[in-house]
Amino acid sequence: MNSLTEEDVNFNKRQLKRIFYRRLAVVIWVSFLVAAVETMVFFVIFDPQLLGQLSTWSVMLEATQGYTFGFIFFWIFNLITAFLVGIIMVLPRTKLAKRTIPKAE
């Protein structure tokens, strides 16, 4: 008989926590890097001071403030997207369509 000891169960719990934290770190790090690239590409095309002048309410933004707000927006957006993808990937899998094999007569 192969029974798990309490030490084995605790080890498995620690391993699961370690795997969870590693995956969480990967999600945060990748979303950070993608946000950095998106910020660079976006602000090569658009000037943050000009965007502040074009807004419907008067906003006085310096360039660095615009870059900061843009980066934070992109990072939060990518973080939410990555979390949603992670949640969807962890959901239990179900059979979407059952394949039926015709019976030989």
Q: What is the per-residue pLDDT across 73-92, written as a single tens digit (0 to 9) for each? A: 999 999 999 989 888 887 77
Q: What is the pLDDT of residue 38?
A: 96
Residues of the chain falling short of pLDDT 70: 1-3, 93-105
DSSP for 52-103, please give it. HHHSSS-----HHHHHHHHHHHHHHHHHHHHHHHHHHHHSPP--SS---PPP
Q: What is the pLDDT of residue 74?
A: 96
Q: What is the pLDDT of residue 14?
A: 87
> Measuring CA to CA, which residue among 45, 63, 43, 44 is closest to residue 53?
63
Calpha distance 37→87 (Å, rounded): 24
Question: pTM of the full predicted structure?
Answer: 0.70
Could you tell me how many residues make up the chain?
105
Q: What is the pLDDT of residue 97?
A: 53
